[in-house]
Amino acid sequence: MYAEPFSPHHRPHFHAHYQDAVAVYGLDPVELMAGSLPLRQRRLVEAWCELHRDELMQDWQLLQSGRHPQPIAPLQ
């Protein structure tokens, strides 16, 4: 996620990076909005997002208000 408090996005989302690939995922519903990842990494990111959706939404709200997001545990 990136903070842009003076030009808020219309939809909560985050950016996932893997090697040279970048994908943008919407949070509600969890879906690929742009870009791409290899299939295995895409499935891992989607599973992680489902498990941490509430935390991601809280971080989205923090960023939109100009505050720092809280760390979220990686998929294990």
Domain definitions of the chain by residue range: 1-76
Q: Specify burial of residue 27 (Cβ count, 10 A radius: 0-12, 13-18, 19+).
A: buried
CA atoms of 61 and 45, how far apart (whole Å): 20
Q: What is residue 74's predicted lDDT score, i.e. its pLDDT?
A: 85
Phi, psi of 27, rounded to the nearest 5 degrees:
-95, -25
Residue 40, C-beta contacts closer than 8 angstroms, at least 6 positions apart: none
Q: What is the pLDDT of residues 18-61, one digit of tens each?
A: 999 999 999 989 999 999 999 999 999 999 999 999 999 999 99
